[in-house]
Amino acid sequence: MKRDVDQKDFVLGHQVLSVKEAISAVCSAFDIPIYFQLKLPVLFLYKLARIMRVEVDPWSDYCIRNPHMNYKTVNPKSFGMVSSYAKLDELVQDTLKEQTLVDTSLEANPG
């Protein structure tokens, strides 16, 4: 196998994806219009977590404080292979398709 990565530590994943892009992909899959998006201050996120009684673990805390960190990732394309889901919207569309098939089969064969 050919690889274009010369390091010993690997991060499995795909291309960098912003929260805005992820929200857009999921909303378009469900045909939900996006009217506006707000950038939330970090302090607001911590206060919201406290109100909701959500514990912010050390890794989540690090990610909140460093939102622009990126890693060089390794995926099937790195090894000359084809990825089944190269983008998030492909994954969401296929998942919805599978869910529709399951729902249809349950309606046809109840019980």
In this prediction the pTM is 0.64
CA atoms within 13 A on the CB side of 83: 16
Give CA separation, 63 vs 48, 70, 76, in Å.
16, 11, 25
Instruction: State the Cα–Cα distance between residues 15 and 86, nearest whole angstrom.
Output: 8
Q: How confident is the model at residue 3 (pLDDT cuts 50, 70, 90)?
A: low
Query: What is the arithmetic mean of pLDDT over 38-50?
Result: 91
User: Which residue has tokens 């469900």?
Assistant: 30
Q: What are the structural domain ranges in the chain?
A: 11-99
Average pLDDT across the chain, whole number = 82
Instruction: Give the pLDDT confidence of 65-82 residue by residue, as tens digits.
Output: 888 887 788 888 888 888
> Residue 6: its pLDDT value, please?
61
Residue 93's CB is within 10 A of a number of other CB atoms, namely 15
